[in-house]
Amino acid sequence: ARGASLTDFAEKIGVDAAALVQMLFSLGEMVTATESVNDETLELLGEELNYVVEVVSPEDEDRELLESFDLEFGEDEGDESDLAIRPPVVTVMGHVDHGKTKLLDALRKANVVAKEAGGITQHIGAYQVAAEVDGDERRITFIDTPGHEAFTAMRARGAQATDIAILVVAADDGVMPQTVEALNHAKAANVPIVVAVNKIDKPEADPTKVRGQLTEYGLVPEEYGGDAMFVDVSAKSELNLDKLLEAVVLTADASLDLRANPHQDAQGLVVEAHLDRGRGPVATVLVQRGTLRVGDSIVAGPAHGRVRAMLDEHGDNIEAADPSRPAMVLGLNAAPSAGQNFIVVEDDRMARQIAEKREARERAAMQAKRRVRRSLEDFMAS
């Protein structure tokens, strides 16, 4: 919580910021809700609320936990010669209903070089296409994100897992709140942005207006002398999809060094997970480094298990998934949350031990929050 405002802190522990202001006031501390609070103030609050304020971040704590098992998340093992080129991971973001999912469906339909016959296509929110760009076959991984305002955290994490962001803006609606939010997440994560100005088939579409609006947010189109690529598209009429793919590939080639070591135990992120009635917990994961294989022992957030089977975006069984490849994983004991990491470990026992420690910590954090809420309620009532 270091450097966080009282509002951030209140949100983290699930209480009303105004109540914290009032409590601090009664303790002789004048702090406004937006002011950042120092450790002493947090400790003061902690004493009053019978709660030990932890200044360690959950991320640091998890790093330590993994270290105690001789594991590390986020680094390629080996040296330069182990690295192999991997496809770019492209996250599609934008305001609700601006056409993200439809655009992804259209891209998949138009450019799947691999066979699509038979088998029902699964919608897993992440898939790889083999697109033909300038005569070359190029693989690109796409991740869909929801535009609904409730999914801020998912968009923030999506931006972090990604190499390139496609910002979808409906040309009949223009720049909207989640357009700006997505833009800010991508900027914060230092991710290059390609703008897809969508729905240009609509008579009321005004792609020039979208360019003007985004220019005000510092995203200046190339044709105006800036460095952002804008492509006018229609997901519905399947217009200019090849141009959009080309812009993505150009961006990847121009500014990114996309390599990972496929010859190590796999690590990556959970894109989505749910409980399937027939199959149990099903998690869509994105492999970031290493190769994930059927039979691997994995821990994903507070869930663990052995990979029983893996499916690709067509619902076909696959034996292995290399860097940048999304896969549906069966065999976990629970559904982890989107954005949590997964890591392959030595054996089932280690996976279970790590998962149990994480689960215990999540539970303790929840109990602490509840305790604080109760103390605060008592204080307000007294």
* Phi-psi group of 339: left, alpha or beta (phi > 0 → left; psi -120 to 50 → alpha; rest → beta): left
- Interacting span for Mg ion (CB under 5 A) from 26-34, 64-72, 98-106, 316-324: 98-106
State the number of binding residues for ligand GTP (CB under 6 A).
Answer: 18
For the purposes of burial, counting CB atoms within 10 Å of the CB of 345, is it exposed (0-12), middle (13-18) or buried (19 or more)?
buried
What is the closest distance, in whole angstroms, from the C-beta atom of residue 104 to Mg ion in the complex? 8
- Interacting span for ligand GTP (CB under 6 A) from 83-91, 121-129, 198-206, 252-260: 198-206
Any idea which residue has 């016959």 for tokens? 117
Q: Which is nearer to Mg ion, 18 or 153 (CB)?
A: 153
Q: Cβ distance 203 to 287 under 8 Å? A: no
Q: Which is nearer to ligand GTP, 76 or 272 (CB)?
A: 272
Any idea which residue has 């996309």 for tokens? 258
- 240 near ligand GTP, judged by CB under 6 A: no
Q: Is 46 helix (H, G, I), strand (E, B) or coil?
A: helix
State the number of binding residues for Mg ion (CB under 5 A).
Answer: 2
Q: Which is nearer to Mg ion, 100 or 185 (CB)?
A: 100
C-alpha–C-alpha distance, residues 169 and 176, integer Å: 8
C-alpha–C-alpha distance, residues 257 and 329, integer Å: 28
Count of CB atoms situated within 10 Å of the CB of 73:
17
Beta-bridged to residue 273, according to DSSP, are 283
Confirm or deny that 339 is annotated as ligand binding: no
- Interacting span for ligand GTP (CB under 6 A) from 8-16, 229-237, 288-296, 319-327: 229-237
Q: Which is nearer to Mg ion, 100 or 155 (CB)?
A: 100
- Interacting span for ligand GTP (CB under 6 A) from 50-58, 212-220, 232-240, 295-303: 232-240
Q: Cβ distance 341 to 298 under 8 Å? A: no
Q: Which is nearer to ligand GTP, 101 or 341 (CB)?
A: 101
Instruction: Out of 101, 128, 178, 198, name the contact with Mg ion by CB under 5 A.
Output: 101
Q: Which does 199 bind (CB under 5 to 8 A by kind): ligand GTP, Mg ion, none?
A: ligand GTP
Cβ burial 182-192 (10 Å sphere, 16+ → b, else e): bbebbeebebb
Count of CB atoms situated within 10 Å of the CB of 102:
16
Instruction: Out of 63, 139, 202, 361, name the contact with ligand GTP by CB under 6 A.
Output: 202
C-alpha–C-alpha distance, residues 132 and 112, integer Å: 9
Instruction: Out of 146, 226, 280, 339, name the contact with ligand GTP by CB under 6 A.
Output: 146
Q: Which is nearer to ligand GTP, 10 or 90 (CB)?
A: 90
C-alpha–C-alpha distance, residues 19 and 296, integer Å: 48
What is the closest distance, in whole angstroms, from the C-beta atom of residue 108 to ligand GTP in the complex? 13
Confirm or deny that 257 is annotated as ligand binding: no
**Near Mg ion in 160-189, by CB under 5 A:** none
In 3D, which of 243, 255, 281 has the Cα closest to residue 103? Answer: 243
Both structure tokens of 110 = 């138009």
Confirm or deny that 135 is annotated as ligand binding: no
Instruction: Out of 61, 97, 359, 362, name the contact with ligand GTP by CB under 6 A.
Output: 97
Q: Cβ distance 304 to 298 under 8 Å? A: yes
Residues forming contacts to ligand GTP in the complex (CB under 6 A) are 94, 96-102, 146-148, 198-199, 201-202, 234-236
Residues forming contacts to Mg ion in the complex (CB under 5 A) are 100-101
- The binding site for GTP comprises 94-101, 144-148, 198-201
